[in-house]
Chains A and B, each alone.
Chain A
């Protein structure tokens, strides 16, 4: 069909009078690992949230697997998508949030089994079996009956990843998933992501401030500034030899703040 799994075509998004995405254009190939970096407010989290249908856009088109996200075909023309269409599109996308967003009133296992049982009609026994496999994958099989409040930040985030994986999305979005963690807990989450990257063919988009991880992990890095992509390229090129001065200034600040690349 198409050789791109995500197509962002001249997307503009505004919050009131503030334009947060300006005529944004980029594409993602299936299985690609993309890192989105840039200063805060540059729009990189917004584009991720928009892909997850948590935000709407003012103009432009977003296509997932060739199909428009916010529009649908009706009698040969495109009309605004209804909830059924959005529901169908969302099955392809999963998201992990900076603040984990686990369900505090459910144990770890129930957090992971809830969505497959409700949205895909999976039977409880099957859902629990699959959930235990995923928890094992992220190294938390022994915490299946624990409540989220009993877990550390790194453990909560790994549960959140398992929960998103339970729906078998083709695209996984990671929104600054280690930014809220104590430094010593960051690595356990990054290693799960590394494992996912090397053992699956999922398309992964991550907004991150972990530059050395982005450098090692990503196929391509996009530098965002003020709602536009200023520069993009393979990590080797972008991190060591950025052409744009805004990229250079940003990377200089990051290195000065102590991040090794």
Chain B
């Protein structure tokens, strides 16, 4: 039974790596999503072109390929990354591309009357975005961002292919060493579910806080 404590410890180490990947991946995906999402709405065609290229490339190719590129191909042009860095880069840019469309759609969903109020009040484009449009769009983005974050969490298992010891990788190690399949994978399931629930709860609280006062009831 002491063995199990050791194996559990191994899996918890893996759980920690998964958590790190998720948090850092989301930390990269969020600014990427805003840059590309707003970039798609830019006045300048060059900015729009770059944004579209980024979004289409990272949505259109598989995360495995992107991860292998980050880990195996980038060193060929002098950029060497640790497995963790490569994982965060691939995950962040991949989910960021999906997030970009969320940002774009949310900003475009804000009614024309809000834009017109900003023109009538002589706000600059940037002032309108920052003070009027983005705050309202952010509320719309939260539920889908929650989905994107959970997808990122589940996608982290792809790093086991570059031998990064995340939760899935450690579960496979335990399975190969103990011959037991059910217990490690059941543990893995529970931990992923716990992480996903944490993300959902956090997003729900965020959404509640952001919509305070908007329905005229809670202030």
Please indicate which of the listed interface residues B120, B135, B136 has the most CB atoms of chain A within 10 Å of its own CB.
Answer: B120
- Distance A95 CA – B123 CA, assembled complex (angstroms): 13
The interface stretch among B98-106, B111-119, B168-176 is B111-119
A-facing residues in B186-219 (Cβ within 8 Å) = 213-216, 219
* Residue numbers in A under 8 Å from B124 (CB-CB): 87
**Does A41 interact with chain B (Cβ within 8 Å)?**
no
Judge whether B116 and A119 touch: CB under 8 Å. no
What's the nearest-Cβ distance from chain B to residue A53, in Å? 6
Annotate A192-216 by CB proximity to B: 1 below 8 A, 0 otherwise: 0000000000000000000000000
Judge whether A115 and B113 touch: CB under 8 Å. no
**Does B121 interact with chain A (Cβ within 8 Å)?**
yes
Residue of A nearest to B120 (CB): A95
Judge whether B120 and A150 touch: CB under 8 Å. no
* Residue numbers in B under 8 Å from A118 (CB-CB): 123, 127, 131
**Does A107 interact with chain B (Cβ within 8 Å)?**
yes
Judge whether B121 and A163 touch: CB under 8 Å. yes
Judge whether B121 and A53 touch: CB under 8 Å. no
**Does A222 interact with chain B (Cβ within 8 Å)?**
no
From B117, B121, B131, B214, A167 is in contact (CB under 8 Å) with B121
What's the nearest-Cβ distance from chain B to residue A178, in Å? 17
**Does B122 interact with chain A (Cβ within 8 Å)?**
yes
Judge whether B213 and A147 touch: CB under 8 Å. yes
B contact residues, range: 20 to 34
* Residue numbers in A under 8 Å from B132 (CB-CB): 103, 114
Judge whether A101 and B214 touch: CB under 8 Å. no
Annotate A158-197 by CB proximity to B: 1 below 8 A, 0 otherwise: 0000011001000000000000000000000000000000
Judge whether B121 and A119 touch: CB under 8 Å. yes
Residue of B nearest to A146 (CB): B219
B-facing residues in A76-104 (Cβ within 8 Å) = 87, 90-91, 94-95, 97, 99, 101-104
Tell whether A149 pairs with B214 under 8 Å between CB atoms, given A103-B132, A118-B127: yes
What's the nearest-Cβ distance from chain B to residue A84, in Å? 10
From A91, A101, A103, A163, B116 is in contact (CB under 8 Å) with A101
Judge whether B216 and A105 touch: CB under 8 Å. no
**Does A135 interact with chain B (Cβ within 8 Å)?**
no
* Residue numbers in B under 8 Å from A62 (CB-CB): none
What's the nearest-Cβ distance from chain B to residue A111, in Å? 9
A-facing residues in B119-145 (Cβ within 8 Å) = 119-124, 127, 131-132, 135-136, 139
* Residue numbers in B under 8 Å from A21 (CB-CB): none
Residue of A nearest to B139 (CB): A105
* Residue numbers in B under 8 Å from A95 (CB-CB): 120
What's the nearest-Cβ distance from chain B to residue A146, in Å? 8
- Distance A43 CA – B31 CA, assembled complex (angstroms): 44
**Does A52 interact with chain B (Cβ within 8 Å)?**
yes
Judge whether A115 and B121 touch: CB under 8 Å. yes
* Residue numbers in B under 8 Å from A103 (CB-CB): 114, 117, 132, 136
**Does A256 interact with chain B (Cβ within 8 Å)?**
no
Enumerate chain A interface residues (CB-CB to B < 8 A): 52-54, 87, 90-91, 94-95, 97, 99, 101-105, 107, 114-115, 118-119, 147, 149-150, 163-164, 167
14 examples of A-B residue contacts, CB within 8 angstroms: A104-B136, A105-B136, A105-B139, A105-B213, A105-B214, A114-B131, A115-B122, A115-B123, A118-B131, A149-B213, A149-B214, A150-B213, A164-B121, A167-B122
Enumerate chain B interface residues (CB-CB to A < 8 A): 113-114, 116-117, 119-124, 127, 131-132, 135-136, 139, 213-216, 219
Extra contacts, 19 of them, besides A103-B132, A114-B131 (Cβ < 8 A), are A53-B119, A54-B119, A94-B120, A97-B113, A97-B116, A97-B120, A101-B113, A101-B114, A102-B117, A105-B139, A105-B213, A114-B121, A114-B123, A118-B131, A119-B127, A149-B214, A150-B216, A163-B121, A167-B122
